[in-house]
Amino acid sequence: MSGHPEADIYHRQGIGQRAGLGTRPALVIVDFQAGFADPEHFGGGNIAPAIAETVHLLAFARARHWPVAHTRVVYADDGADAGVFTRKAPTLLKLTEHSPLSQIVPELTPVKGEYVVRKQGASGFFGTALASWLTQRRADTVIVAGCTTSGCVRATVVDSMQHNFRTAVATDCVGDRALAPHAANLFDMGQKYADLMTRAEIEAAYRNG
């Protein structure tokens, strides 16, 4: 993102440094649910290719026994746990526990030992045990994939940084229903909250680990 037309002001202000990767990574996959893979519901844009890239990143993480967490937006059947978020996006209430739309896409189905985080807000950390789960597994770095880049990915990335995890966004493993918000939010996250790396760059960094 160094070629972004607004990058110079950040550079002059000393913003946009790299946090770097630690030695104990974990992978957090945000909301790759059936409803977000479907343009007729919550999907579109570049979400489908991001899922395809994440299949490879997940396989890489599993082969190295990284902690892996998947987040799902899930609401009670009667909406009893709904908040202001669903006033902005009421169709999210369709994402109940057993709705086909709320299930993690088949190609990323969690396996034994992977943590499935149910959430009602944007961040995978807010109101969940994700931070303590990562800490208990001694993770020092969170690699983030998922959707949407401008929404739940961004919120999760900000909270990951605020929990003092080194945080990297796998840029080709995140997607949004619209490409302009995707690009703008990647740029902003890269300046303030996370390191931006492609899947290949992340894998290269940890290939011998």
The rounded distance, in Å, linking the Cα atoms of 80 and 57 is 36
Predicted local confidence at residue 12, as pLDDT: 83
Mean pLDDT to the nearest integer, 140-159: 98
pLDDT score recorded for residue 126: 97
- In the predicted model, what is the mean pLDDT of residues 62-89? 97
Per-residue pLDDT of 159-179, as tens digits, reads 999 999 999 999 999 999 999
- pLDDT(147) > 90: yes
Its sign, for the CA torsion 205, 126, 94, 104, is positive
Q: Quote the pLDDT of residue 209.
A: 58
Give kind and range of the element (H or E) at residue 52: helix 47-63
Contact 143, 52 (CB under 8 A): no
Cβ atoms of 196 and 1 closer than 8 Å: yes
Q: Binning pLDDT at 50, 70 and 90, where does residue 18 land? A: very high
pLDDT digits (tens, 9 = 90+) for 100-126: 999 999 999 999 999 999 999 999 999
Give residue 3's pLDDT: 64
By annotation, the residues acting in catalysis are: 152
pLDDT band at 183; cut points 50, 70, 90? very high
pLDDT of residue 73: 98
Mean pLDDT of all residues in 61-77: 98
Residue 169 backbone class (left: φ over 0; alpha: ψ -120 to 50; beta: rest): beta
What pLDDT score does 11 carry? 86
For residue 153, pLDDT beyond 70: yes
Q: Identify the pLDDT of residue 7.
A: 82
Pairing mode of beta strands 25-30, 68-73 = parallel
- Give CA–CA dist 41/69, Å, rounded: 24
141 prior amide bond cis, ω within 30: no
Q: How far apart are the first and last CA of the chain?
A: 27
The token duo for 175 is: 């997607």
Pick 24-206's CATH classification: 3.40.50.850, 3.40.190.10, 3.40.50.10140, 3.40.50.620. Answer: 3.40.50.850
